Structure 1
Amino acid sequence: MRVTTKGQVTIPIHIREKLGITPDTEIDFLQEGNRVFLVKRKKNARATRRFKKLRGIATVKMTTDEIMALTRDNL
Structure 2
Amino acid sequence: MEKNTVKISPNGQITIPPDIQEKLGLLPGTEIQLEVIGDILQIRKPRTLSRGKQLIAAIRGKATSGLTTNDIMQATRDS
Q: Same fold (TM over 0.5)?
A: yes
Is 2:28 aligned against 1:23?
yes
TM-aligned CA deviation for residue 43 of structure 1: 3.4
Is 2:53 aligned against 1:33?
no
- Quote the Cα distance in structure 1 between the aligned partners of 2:21 and 2:36: 20
Instruction: Find the residue that maps to 2:13 and give its secondary structure.
Output: coil
TM-aligned CA deviation for residue 44 of structure 1: 4.9
TM-aligned CA deviation for residue 5 of structure 1: 1.0
Would you identify which runs of 4 or more consecutive aligned residues in structure 1 move more than 6 Å? none
1:5-59 deviation per Cα after TM superposition (whole angstroms, max 9, x unaligned)? 1100100011101110001101011111100011012335544x47xxxxxxxxx
Is 2:13 aligned against 1:8?
yes
Aligned residues: 49
User: Aligned residues: percent identity?
Assistant: 33
- The gaps in structure 2 that reach 5 residues or longer are 1-5, 57-79
More RCO (CA 8 Å, sep 6+) = 1
- Quote the Cα distance in structure 1 between the aligned partners of 2:32 and 2:49: 13
CA RMSD for the aligned pairs?
1.6
User: TM-score w.r.t. structure 2 length?
Assistant: 0.53
- Quote the Cα distance in structure 1 between the aligned partners of 2:20 and 2:32: 13
